[in-house]
Amino acid sequence: MTALELTDVVVDYERRGGGRVRAVAGASISVERGQIVGLVGESGCGKSTFARAAVGLVRMTSGSVVFEGREIVPLARRGRPRDLARLQLVFQNPYASLNPRRKVGSQLADALETLDLVPVAGRPARVRELCELVGLPPTAADRFPHEFSGGQRQRIAIARALAADPSVIVLDEPLASLDASAQAQLANLLVSLSRELGLGLLLISHDLAIVHHVADAVSVMYLGRMVETGATSRLWEQPLHPYSESLINAIPHPDGSGFLPNALPGEVPDPGQPPSGCRFHPRCPYAFSRCSVDEPALVALAGGRTAACWLQPEGAIAASPAERARLVAGGDVQ
């Protein structure tokens, strides 16, 4: 059952000095209970704006967000319906998202008090339970955030989200500020929480290796648009969009195989002035004449996948990079 569904979300920002920037340009995604969905893309692709739109923290220009059958609109904190507390957001920086002047236990207890989820007498025990749930000792409740490492602080932020008894948590780059060991431990924790509690997780990250490890499905975003979606294993085995392929080829392989990652050429364009046609065409090794003129729609392909690329014949899974090169060779290559 779909718990969170974003459809054709568009978010515009006013630019200083005039003009508008379209940070999200018609993106859709859905998350089911007990499912981990990864949203990947380079910095500047609109992922964080999309995350905030998902929980009603930014106003959409158009589109819809439906959570457990109810449409979400941006609201002031005091006007937010209580049932929307079951949709939580964990921010990227645990150093900024926790109050340094208050003990961890009091911050975890805030949701219990605000939502009246647990009787007053039972709140201390529930706080200790939340600490244990994210792999922290019960005594963590009596300490201040500065006494913890970055990975432990992010666990506290996740525990605070869990205090609201959520069905879906949106995690905006939760692993970005952590070292490799802490990332791996926290990634394993997210998988355990999703499976044990039936949580739907929307994991936003630029680290494809982590997403590959934990996500059931992946959506790839480029310059505010989804360019490919599908089951994680199939996307990794056979990416259908050149951008997805480039991201995967840029992942280092620390296994002694001698594999050298290929860096993506160029930079993410200014979203205020996106390229004509396919937004990825200036950086695409397979681009041909049509790519710079017409923007491809995200179309359904075989196997429950979607892709927005002129090299993908509708209704079929197009081929390997070699086959794409053959297709391009017959056209007007850029």
Phi, psi of 71 (to 5 degrees): -75, 135
pTM to 2 decimal places = 0.90
Give the residue ranges of DSSP H helices in the chain: 47-54, 94-97, 104-115, 123-133, 150-162, 180-197, 208-214, 232-237, 242-249, 321-329
More confident residue, 11 or 72: 11
Condensed to tens digits (0 to 9), the pLDDT of residues 285-314 reads 999 999 999 999 999 988 899 999 998 765
Nearest Cα residue to 113 out of 163, 188, 61:
163
- Beta bridge partner(s), residue 201: 36, 169
pLDDT tier at 27, thresholds 50, 70, 90 = very high
**The pairing of beta strand 70-71 with beta strand 20-32:** unpaired
Place of tokens 């494809």: 208
pLDDT (mean) for 130-159: 94
For residue 333, the model assigns a pLDDT of 42
- CATH class (in words) of the domain with range 2-237: alpha beta
Helices 104-115 and 123-133, axial angle in degrees (round to 10): 120
Nearest Cα residue to 162 out of 53, 56, 65, 89:
89
Contact predicate 216/37, CB 8 Å: yes
Task: Kindly list the domain boundaries of the chain, sorted by start residue.
Answer: 2-237
Please name the residues in contact with 123: beta carbons below 8 A apart, sequence gap of 6 or more. 109, 112, 113
- Judged by DSSP in three states, 208 sits in helix
Contact predicate 10/26, CB 8 Å: yes
